[in-house]
Structure 1
Amino acid sequence: MPGVHSDHGAMPNEDWPLVDRHPQKNGEGWLLKEQEQLIVCYRNAMPLAHAKSIELETRPMRGSKAPVVRRMLLHNAIEVWTHIQKTGWKRCQPRW
């Protein structure tokens, strides 16, 4: 069970691995880049669980600037997800 050590009981929430604190829900994943004040949401572009198309929606954390929405193939979206995490993007809770 995530967040539980057999010899210490339950761990405080802040000690859980980030992936456990912000699990993906319904095929969505969220990343935040605080330095640039941007959030991106990855979600299935099709209702099927095995969708081959992913929608990426990027929004500013503040202000009224319009979101940027893109669609890409699943394998490309996975590559982008991995790459941008290496450049400072962090998993976060859903924001909208």
Structure 2
Amino acid sequence: MSEETQVAAEVYTFAKPFTFEGQEVKEITLNFDDMSGNDIIACDRQYRAEQKGAMSFSPELDKVYQAYVVAKAAGVHVSLVLASKAKDFTSLTLRARNFLLL
């Protein structure tokens, strides 16, 4: 792959590190541009399975769904995203929303 066509990943640094499953989390690497249609479908299936009927008609605007997309883009479990502090969670889900809607 040439330098020009490489996908850029974004390192997101948490405002305040937090502990998740005994590990300190300071940052995650988000790579939305490298996601495939299969990744989005996997996020949708997991979201639907875990929401048990409490789903949004527009999941792209649902923060829970956005958390699944963030987790997939970062290669982490959604629980890590959900455990982040509110400020970071909001910032991360806004990134997912922007990716999904643009």
Settle same-fold status: TM greater than 0.5: no
Q: Which has the higher helix share?
A: 2
TM-score (norm 2): 0.24
The structure with more strand, counted as a fraction of residues: 1
Q: TM-score, normalised to structure 1's length?
A: 0.25
